[in-house]
Structure 1
């Protein structure tokens, strides 16, 4: 049983490997895992500091998500993570960081993936 409720699912797409001649050694793999996804977006604006008219010089939208899996999840940094939220929109994430949270006995309790 998981430490926290895992109500969402994601699909993991892993690219297959080819040898140096371009022949497929291992095929592409696609599998589904239960998880918990906490996602969001942040808008950052930089304005000019000149006296008089204040104008926006640049805008940056940052989208980020934290995905938690139960125990040890086989996630690589080269995988693609497909997530479909409650509104039906599908997002493709690429992992930036994969952390294993371990208990006192040394076993993985959670796998945290930051995208």
Structure 2
């Protein structure tokens, strides 16, 4: 058995101990992908929005923001952010692996690429 196969077998054993028969699950992988889209969308979306607002006519932007629809949109975005923050605060995020995983697998001699990539 070569080293790569032995490392895969060790990683499979560790993942089985952590997650059981069902593995990491599709929902967790999708939530992580959504989390990344949200982070990158926020970073790039903020810069694009700022560029659009800076280059637009100030009077047009001011009239759009203080209109009824502008205030309603602002309140809806604020309510969505509060709801998302509340729901995100109830669970542990997908970014930090469980502590036993860090102690046993990440700190081991296994190849880092194999350890940190998401397994199906």
The alignment's TM-score, normalised by the length of structure 2, stands at: 0.18
Identify the structure with the greater strand proportion: 1
Larger radius of gyration: 2
The alignment's TM-score, normalised by the length of structure 1, stands at: 0.19
Identify the structure with the greater helix proportion: 2
Greater relative contact order: 1 or 2 (C-alpha under 8 angstroms, separation 6 or more)?
2
